[in-house]
Chains A and B, each alone.
Chain A
Amino acid sequence: MAEQAQQHPDNALPLNLIEAINHALGQAMEEDDRVVLLGEDIATNGGVFRATEGLKERFGLRRVMDTPLAENLIAGLAVGMASQGLKPVAEIQFMGFIYAALEQLISHAARLRNRTRGRLSCPLVIRAPFGGGIHAPEHHSESTEALFAHIPGLRVVIASSPARAHGLLRAAIACPDPVLFLEPKRLYRLQRLPVSVDESPLPLDTCFTLRAGHDLTLISWGAMIHETLAAADALADQGVQAEVIDVACLNPLDRNTLLTSVSKTGRAVIIHEAPGHGGFGAEIAATLAGDGLMQLRAPVERVTGYDCPMPYFAMEQRYMPSVERIVAAAQRTLEY
Chain B
Amino acid sequence: MNTPFTTTPYQPHTRLTRLGAESNWQRLCDGYRTMVLIRQFDKKAINLQRTGQLGTYASCLGGEAIATAAGQALHDNDYFVPYYRDHATQYLRGVPLHQVLQYWGGDERGNVFPANTPAARDLPYCVPIASQLTQAAGIATKAKLGHEHAAVLATCGDGATSRGDFYEALNVAGVWQLPLVVLINNNQWAISVPRALQSASTTLAHKAQAAGIEGFQVDGNDLPAMLEALDYALDKARHGKGATLVEALSYRLCDHTTADDASRYRKASELHVAWQNEPLARLRQVLVAAGHWSADLETGWLGECQQRVDDAIEHYLNTPPAPATDMLDYLYAALPEALRAQRQALQQTAGGSHG
Q: Chain A residues with Cβ under 8 A from B165's Cβ?
A: 72-73, 76
Smallest Cβ distance from B312 to chain A, in angstroms? 19
User: 1/0 per residue A103-123: CB within 8 Å of B?
Assistant: 110011001011111111100
User: Which listed residue, A83, A119, A254, touches B337 by the CB 8 Å rule?
Assistant: A254
Question: In whole angstroms, how far apart are the Cα atoms of A115 and B331 in the complex?
Answer: 8
Smallest Cβ distance from A25 to chain B, in angstroms? 17
Q: Chain B residues with Cβ under 8 A from A82's Cβ?
A: 138
Q: Does A239 contact B (CB under 8 A)?
A: no
User: 1/0 per residue B136-151: CB within 8 Å of A?
Assistant: 1111111001000000
Query: Which of B104-112, B194-202, B229-237, B271-279 is the interface stretch?
Result: B104-112
Question: In whole angstroms, how far apart are the Cα atoms of A76 and B128 in the complex?
Answer: 12
Q: Chain B residues with Cβ under 8 A from A70's Cβ?
A: 164, 168, 171-172
Q: Does B121 contact A (CB under 8 A)?
A: yes
Would B169 and A83 count as touching, CB distance under 8 A? no
Would B333 and A68 count as touching, CB distance under 8 A? no
Q: Does B346 contact A (CB under 8 A)?
A: no
Would B111 and A81 count as touching, CB distance under 8 A? no
Question: In whole angstroms, how far apart are the Cα atoms of A82 and B123 in the complex?
Answer: 12
Given A72-B134, A119-B113, do A81 and B139 touch, yes or no (CB 8 Å)?
yes
Count, A-B residue pairs, CB within 8 A: 138
Q: Does A244 contact B (CB under 8 A)?
A: no
Q: Chain B residues with Cβ under 8 A from A284's Cβ?
A: none
User: Which listed residue, A80, A152, A252, touches B135 by the CB 8 Å rule?
Assistant: A80
Q: Does A27 contact B (CB under 8 A)?
A: no
Smallest Cβ distance from B80 to chain A, in angstroms? 12
Smallest Cβ distance from B348 to chain A, in angstroms? 18
Given A68-B171, A116-B111, do A77 and B333 touch, yes or no (CB 8 Å)?
no
Question: In whole angstroms, how far apart are the Cα atoms of A79 and B132 in the complex?
Answer: 9
Would A84 and B331 count as touching, CB distance under 8 A? no
Q: Chain A residues with Cβ under 8 A from B261's Cβ?
A: none
Q: Does B326 contact A (CB under 8 A)?
A: yes
User: Which listed residue, A81, A119, A252, A255, touches B138 by the CB 8 Å rule?
Assistant: A81
The listed residue with most B CB atoms (<10 A of its CB), out of A63, A79, A84, A175, is A84
User: 1/0 per residue B299-340: CB within 8 Å of A?
Assistant: 000000000000000000000000000110011110011110
User: Which listed residue, B79, B141, B172, B336, touches A205 by the CB 8 Å rule?
Assistant: B336
Of chain A, the residue at the smallest CB distance from B333 is A176
Would A83 and B145 count as touching, CB distance under 8 A? no
Given A70-B168, A117-B109, do A255 and B330 touch, yes or no (CB 8 Å)?
no
Q: Does A7 contact B (CB under 8 A)?
A: no
Question: In whole angstroms, how far apart are the Cα atoms of A176 and B139 in the complex?
Answer: 18
Question: In whole angstroms, how far apart are the Cα atoms of A207 and B79 in the complex?
Answer: 41
Question: In whole angstroms, how far apart are the Cα atoms of A158 and B133 in the complex?
Answer: 30
Q: Does B157 contact A (CB under 8 A)?
A: no
Would A76 and B123 count as touching, CB distance under 8 A? no
Q: Chain A residues with Cβ under 8 A from B81's Cβ?
A: 80
Question: In whole angstroms, how far apart are the Cα atoms of A175 and B337 in the complex?
Answer: 16
User: Which listed residue, B120, B169, B337, touches A76 by the CB 8 Å rule?
Assistant: B169
Given A68-B171, A76-B134, A113-B330, do A120 and B121 touch, yes or no (CB 8 Å)?
yes
Q: Does B131 contact A (CB under 8 A)?
A: yes
Q: Chain A residues with Cβ under 8 A from B62's Cβ?
A: none
Smallest Cβ distance from A265 to chain B, in angstroms? 22
User: Which listed residue, A107, A155, A255, touches B131 by the CB 8 Å rule?
Assistant: A107
Smallest Cβ distance from B4 to chain A, in angstroms? 35
Q: Chain A residues with Cβ under 8 A from B169's Cβ?
A: 73, 76
Would B168 and A68 count as touching, CB distance under 8 A? yes
Question: In whole angstroms, how far apart are the Cα atoms of A126 and B139 in the complex?
Answer: 17
User: Which listed residue, A104, A119, A255, touches B112 by the CB 8 Å rule?
Assistant: A119
User: 1/0 per residue A44-84: CB within 8 Å of B?
Assistant: 00000000000000000011010110101101111111111
Q: Chain B residues with Cβ under 8 A from A116's Cβ?
A: 108, 111-112, 124, 330
Q: Does B259 contact A (CB under 8 A)?
A: no
* Contacting residues of chain A (145-163) with chain B, CB-CB under 8 angstroms: 152-153, 155
Smallest Cβ distance from A92 to chain B, in angstroms? 14
Q: Does A256 contact B (CB under 8 A)?
A: yes
Smallest Cβ distance from B55 to chain A, in angstroms? 15
Of chain A, the residue at the smallest CB distance from B114 is A119
User: Which listed residue, A111, A119, A152, touches B120 by the CB 8 Å rule?
Assistant: A119
Q: Does A89 contact B (CB under 8 A)?
A: no
Q: Does A85 contact B (CB under 8 A)?
A: yes
Q: Does B345 contact A (CB under 8 A)?
A: no
User: Which listed residue, A65, A76, A88, A108, touches B168 by the CB 8 Å rule?
Assistant: A76
Q: Chain B residues with Cβ under 8 A from A177's Cβ?
A: 332-333
Smallest Cβ distance from A187 to chain B, in angstroms? 26
Would A254 and B331 count as touching, CB distance under 8 A? no
* Contacting residues of chain A (134-192) with chain B, CB-CB under 8 angstroms: 152-153, 155, 175-177
Q: Chain B residues with Cβ under 8 A from A65's Cβ?
A: 141
Q: Chain B residues with Cβ under 8 A from A251's Cβ?
A: 338
Of chain B, the residue at the smallest CB distance from A109 is B135
Q: Does A253 contact B (CB under 8 A)?
A: yes
Q: Chain B residues with Cβ under 8 A from A68's Cβ?
A: 168, 171-172, 175
Q: Enumerate 17 A-B pairs (CB-CB under 8 Å) in ascending A order.
A: A68-B172, A70-B164, A76-B168, A79-B138, A80-B136, A80-B137, A88-B138, A104-B131, A113-B330, A117-B108, A117-B112, A118-B112, A121-B333, A205-B336, A205-B337, A253-B338, A255-B338
B interface residues with partner A (beta carbon < 8 Å):
79, 81, 108-109, 111-113, 120-121, 123-124, 128, 131, 133-142, 145, 164-165, 168-169, 171-172, 175, 326-327, 330-333, 336-339
- Top 7 A-B pairs ranked by shortest CB distance? A80-B138, A76-B134, A80-B135, A252-B338, A77-B138, A252-B336, A176-B333
Given A176-B332, A255-B338, output 20 extra A-B contacts at Cβ < 8 Å.
Answer: A70-B171, A76-B133, A78-B138, A80-B81, A80-B134, A80-B135, A84-B139, A84-B142, A88-B138, A104-B131, A108-B128, A111-B331, A114-B108, A114-B327, A116-B108, A120-B121, A176-B333, A177-B333, A252-B339, A253-B338
